[in-house]
Amino acid sequence: MTRIWHPIHKALAGVFVAALGAFSQSSISARPGTINYVEGHASIDSQPIDQGQIGHLNLDANQTIRTDQNSKAEILLTPGVFLRLGGDAELQMIAPSLTNTKIAILQGEALVDVAQLYKDNNLEVMNNGASTRILKKGIYSFNADPPQVSVYDGKAKIVDGDRHVDVKKGRQVTLTSGKLKAEKFDRKQHDDLYAWSNLRSRYAAEASYATARNIVVNDYAGWGYNAGWFWNPWYSSWAFLPGAGYFSGPFGWSFYSPAAVYYAPRYYIRPGYSYPVNRSIGRVPPGIHQIIRGPQSTPVRPAPSIQAPRPAPRVAVPRAPLMRSPGVRR
C-alpha cells in the first residue's frame, strides 16, 4: 500500500506544482490586437497565421487581419472586450492603445462583445468613413457591405463628418449618404457569427473561472490583481478576469475575479433545506475539470495513467443556471 501511494502522491504533486509554475510565468496581460483564437485559416498582412502563434501574435498599428471563407477569428481589445471576425472578412488595426483603441472594418462582418468597459477606454470602430464609439457593455455587429451598425445590446454614438446619431439597444444604422437614422431591427434574428460568438463567450467564461481558481491557489484570496487578460495554458487561451466581484457578460455567461471565487459561498444546508446561497456562482461553468475542494481548491488534470483520488461524497442540491443579462434575446 505504501509503495503504491507515494509515487502517485508525488506524481500528482508534480503536476500541481507544474501547473502553478505555468500560471505564474504566463500571467502577463495581453494587449489590444492579440489574436486569441482562429477557426479555419487567417492571415496578417498576407502572412498565414500558424496555430502555434495564436495567443502570442499581435496586430500592430496599420496591420490587417483577413479570414478565409468559412473561417473565423477572435481578437482581444481592451480587457473584457472581444472582437470576432466572420468568414471572408478583413479588419485593420488603426490604434492598439489601451486608452485609444481604434479598428476599421474593411470587408465582411465583425461582432464586438463588450463584457466590461471603463470610462478611460476610448473604443472606436471605423466603417465606410463613419466612426462608431462604443459607450456601454453590450453586443455590437458591424457589416462592411452594406455598411451597417447594429446594436443588440448596449449604446453607441456614430459620427460621420457633421452627421451624428446615438444608437441604443435594438437599433441599427445604415451608413450611406443622407441623414443618419437609427431604425428598429429584429434582435431575434441571429446569424452564424452571432451564434459562434455566443459559444466563444461560454468558453471564455469557463477559462475565466478556471484561471481565477488557479490564482487563488497561488495567492490564496487572490488580492492584488487588477482586471486584465491572463494566459491559461490548459485552455490555450487568454482569460478575462475582473478586478473585483463577478458579473454576467452580455451573452449571459459569468466572469469571476479571484477574490469572488475564494469568498463565494457554496451551499447552505440544514435539516430539510438545501439550496445555493449565491445563484450565479452556485453552478460551476461546464468544462471545468476535476476539482479538489478546500480553501486552495484548483482544477487538476491527473498525470497520464494515474488514477486520481475520488472526491468526498457531496450532498445533492438543486442546480441553478448561470446569471444571464436581462433583456438579451437569443
Instruction: Let me know: does 149 contact 126? Beta carbons within 8 Å.
Output: no
- Give pTM, 2 decimals: 0.74
Count of Cβ atoms closer than 10 Å to residue 48 Cβ = 10
pLDDT of residue 209 exceeding 80: yes
> If pLDDT is split at 50, 70 and 90, which confidence band does 261 have?
confident
> If pLDDT is split at 50, 70 and 90, which confidence band does 256 have?
confident
**What secondary structure does DSSP assign to 160-171, as a single string?**
ETTEEEEEETTE
Per-residue pLDDT, 265: 54
Pick the residue with more confidence: 291 or 167?
167
Q: Which of the residue ranges 189-198, 231-240, 259-268 has the most confident prediction, judged by mean pLDDT?
A: 189-198
Amino acid at site 1? M
49, three cell numbers:
497565421
Helix (H, G, I), strand (E, B) or coil at 180: coil
pLDDT tens-digit profile of 17-75? 344 444 443 445 789 999 999 999 999 999 999 999 999 999 999 999 999 999 999 99
> If pLDDT is split at 50, 70 and 90, which confidence band does 136 have?
very high
123, three cell numbers:
473604443
Strands 100-107 and 64-67, by their bridges, are unpaired
Measured between alpha carbons, how far is residue 208 from residues 51, 90, 105, 293 in Å? Answer: 22, 28, 28, 18
CA–CA dist 323, 290 (Å, integer): 23
Per-residue pLDDT, 322: 43
pLDDT of residue 289 exceeding 50: no
Q: Of 128, 71, 84, whose CA–CA distance to 110 is shortest? A: 84
Strands 291-292 and 298-299, by their bridges, are antiparallel
DSSP 98: S
**What secondary structure does DSSP assign to 189-212, as a single string?**
---HHHHHHHHHHHHHHHHHHHHH
Per-residue pLDDT, 220: 52
Chain position carrying cell 468559412:
70
Query: Element (H or E) spanning 138, and its range?
Result: strand 138-144
CA–CA dist 300, 314 (Å, integer): 18
Chain position carrying cell 472578412:
89
DSSP 105: E
pLDDT over 90 for what percent of the chain? 55
CA–CA dist 182, 172 (Å, integer): 5
Min mean pLDDT across 179-183, 238-242, 264-268, 308-312 is at 308-312
Min mean pLDDT across 33-42, 50-59, 200-209, 308-317 is at 308-317
Amino acid at site 304? P
CA–CA dist 300, 287 (Å, integer): 12
Per-residue pLDDT, 50: 94
Query: Element (H or E) spanning 176, and its range?
Result: none
Pick the residue with more confidence: 16 or 67?
67
* Domains, the chain, ordered by start: 2-24+194-299 (no CATH), 34-189 (2.60.120.1440)
Average model confidence (pLDDT) across the chain: 77
Per-residue pLDDT, 129: 93
Angle at 89 between CA 85 and CA 91, to 5 degrees: 70
> If pLDDT is split at 50, 70 and 90, which confidence band does 165 have?
very high
Instruction: Let me know: does 147 contact 125? Beta carbons within 8 Å.
Output: no
Helix, strand, coil percentages, rounded to 5, for the chain: 20, 35, 45
Per-residue pLDDT, 223: 55
Residue 43, burial from CB neighbour count under 10 angstroms (0-12, 13-18, 19+): middle
Q: What is the mean pLDDT of residues 116-134?
A: 95
Instruction: Let me know: does 108 contact 86? Beta carbons within 8 Å.
Output: yes
Query: Element (H or E) spanning 3, and its range?
Result: helix 2-26
Q: What is the mean pLDDT of residues 165-180?
A: 93
Per-residue pLDDT, 67: 98
Per-residue pLDDT, 243: 83
